[in-house]
Amino acid sequence: MANKLSQLLVIEPATELKFVGPFCTAVSSYMRLTNPTDHNILFKIKTTAPKKYCVRPNCGLLEPKNTIEITIILQPFIFDAAEKNKHKFMVQSMIMPEGDVSPEQLWKDVNPDDLMDSKLRCVFELPVDNNQTSSVAALTSTTANTQSASATPNKIESGLSSMDPQLIGNLNNEEEKLSDSSLVQELKKLREAESSLRHENLLLKEKLLRMRLDLENSTKEQQQQSTSLTSSGLGSSLSAGTVSPGAAAAAAHYQNPYSPPVSAAQQQIPMIYVAAAIAMAVFGLIIGKFLL
């Protein structure tokens, strides 16, 4: 078996990543990578517990004589002393060949023997506090009774070396996708709810406007119909030369509001004329008989 290549990157810290509790909230640790060579070096950071850590950035290109700081965030969890030193990190690196090449394709096609590996173990520490130490100890003993510590550090290290490099390389990417997808899902739901509420509001406004317009139109139509019925009834009666009893009664009682009122004496004048005409006709007939 070929000997593994020695790591060209300078890693700080070199062997341990220390996380100081309490671990009820997220705890951060930092790693510095330095490229002391004259080559461009690709790096990738992997872990045996991808669901418990968030690494930014977890891969990239480090140019000659440059340094990059890696932030490693430990997610909140119930601290268990039995799990101390079980979590591992591995820094893989390789020299980027010259020419137009894709880093993603290089990681897929690289031979594991051509990679430079460096392993770091995680150390969990609690701050010195008597009250906190007693409470953490009680919590630790309770958790330890419900969990088993069957794997040893040697087994984990051997399991890490025997894992498929491509599978290990995708662990952090999958973690990022899971966290990003949950946030995208929540944002998408909020946007859909907002859009639905706006749509319902527009529909209600449109419905209210239509009701107002329908009410106004119906009122105008009723007024126009009443006016047209009155004018058409009087006009048709006058044009035909006959007046229906109802129309005659309406005409009899109709009076121009701008004309002076009619007195009772004025209403009796036509009857006097009629009586005088009848009397003159009778008187003329009598005189005619005597003359003949």
Per-residue pLDDT of 147-206, as tens digits, reads 544 444 444 445 545 555 555 555 556 655 655 666 777 777 888 877 778 778 777 887
Answer whether residue 269 is part of any domain: no
Show the domain range for 42. Answer: 10-169
Do the Cβ atoms of 19 and 123 come closer than 8 Å?
A: yes
Q: Is 0.85 topped by the overall pTM?
A: no
Of 219 and 260, the structure prediction assigns the larger pLDDT to 219
Specify the pLDDT at position 191: 81
pLDDT attached to residue 235: 53
Whether 181 maps to a domain, the answer reads: no
Tell which residue, 90, 95, 110, has the closest CA to residue 15.
90
The answer to whether residue 110 is domain-embedded is yes
Residues 121-146: b if buried by 16+ CB within 10 A, e if exposed: bbbbebeeeeeeeeebeeebeebeee
Residue 240 predicted with pLDDT over 60? no
Q: Could you give the CA distance from residue 229 to residue 246 in angstroms, rounded to a whole number?
A: 14
Tell whether 182 is covered by a domain: no
Residue 154: CATH number of its domain: 2.60.40.10
Letter for the amino acid at 269? Answer: I
Angle 113-119-125 (CA atoms, 0-180°, nearest 5)? 170
- What whole-number percentage of the chain has pLDDT above 70? 63
For residue 45, is it within any domain? yes
Q: If you search the block for the tokens 């319902």, which residue do you land on?
A: 200
Average pLDDT over residues 44-64: 94
Residue 244 lies in a domain: no
- Rg, C-alpha atoms of the chain: 52
The mean pLDDT value for 199-221 works out to 81
248 alpha-carbon distance from chain centroid: 73
Give me the number of domains the chain comprises: 1
Give yes or no for residue 117 having a pLDDT over 80.
yes
Q: Is residue 222 part of a domain?
A: no
Q: Give per-residue pLDDT as tens, 242-260.
A: 545 555 454 445 555 555 5
3-state secondary structure of 271: helix
Residue 115 is assigned to a structural domain of this protein = yes
Place of tokens 């906190």: 132
What are the helix (H) ranges across 100-244?
103-109, 130-146, 153-162, 165-169, 171-240
